[in-house]
Amino acid sequence: MPADQRKGVEVRLRVHVKTRAPEIPWDQVIAPGRGIVYSALSRQAPQLGAKVHETGWGPHRIAPFGYSAPEFPTVKRVRGTYVAGGAGTVEFGSPVEEIIEALAKDFAVIPILDWGGVALNIEAVTRLAPPAFASGRGRFRTVSPIAIKSELTRAPDGSRSGGGWVLPGEVGFDVALSHSLRRKAETFGYGPVTLEAITWIGPQRSFSVVGHGSGASSPVRWGKKTGAPVEIEVSGPPAALQALWSCGIGGATSAGFGWVRP
């Protein structure tokens, strides 16, 4: 089986951190994680990192990882500020074993995560196993926004439509999300996943994200992406649900969107 279709060990890494910084600027809450993953891959698994960056993974060429924003649960919230300080965590996940092993190796030797200029001192790294999903059903609630790009459709006259971003609650979101879940399951070599229900939609929010065009030489692009957190019920092979739990749901998971609550 080709390397980009192997079924890996679905797992997350929870990085326990400390910082003296009182806050993280809003434009750096999500964006830095993608660069941290690729930097770790370039040091620990450069060929894998180049492949993921250049062509993506599997038949749909998806970046096969996701991550959370840093969270500091003991710090009092301040309206309008993403507060930091003291002990916190940040999570990274992938259904691809080689990516998890490269990240774990890198986090064991570097002392700090540079999160957009905020120093997060690494205290420990633990592994989180996925739920069993033995019944073939799961409930996913995201802690970061989700947005989906609708698929292009071709009319009888040859014209094409769609392909734009669809937000939770908008017409066509459920269809676009169903397609996205199917494509992600196929990416990791699993059978189909079915969207059973959308049970909750949270408030919309925009975050700065970073990405690139096709090809490793394409320039890095910064921009704003808007979405909303959701809770959904899904069904499918347990291993497919574990894979989705590991890397997140929806579009732009490699940019920090659609991270599923542990």
Q: Where are the domains of the chain?
A: 3-255
> What is the spatial distance between Cα 173 and Cα 227, in angstroms, rounded to a whole number?
11
Query: Does domain 3-255 correspond to CATH entry 3.30.420.40?
Result: no
The residues, ordered by sequence, that sit 6+ positions from 24 with a Cβ below 8 Å of its Cβ are 70, 82, 84, 115, 116, 118
Question: Dihedral (C-alpha) 44, 48, 52, 53: value to the nearest 10 degrees?
Answer: 60
Q: Which of the 8 DSSP states describes residue 3?
A: G
Per-residue pLDDT of the chain (262 residues; tens, 9 = 90+): 455 554 555 689 999 999 999 999 999 999 999 999 999 999 999 999 999 999 999 999 999 999 999 999 999 999 999 999 999 999 999 999 999 999 999 999 999 999 999 999 999 999 999 999 999 999 999 999 998 988 755 445 555 455 688 999 999 999 999 999 999 999 999 999 999 999 999 999 999 987 644 333 444 556 788 999 999 999 999 999 999 999 999 989 999 999 999 8
Residue 132 identity: A
Q: Are 7 and 188 in contact (CB under 8 A)?
A: yes
- Give bridge partners of residue 201 from the DSSP assignment: 230
Global pTM value: 0.90
Structure tokens at 158: 């040859």
Give the span between the Cα atoms of 11 and 181, in whole angstroms. Answer: 18
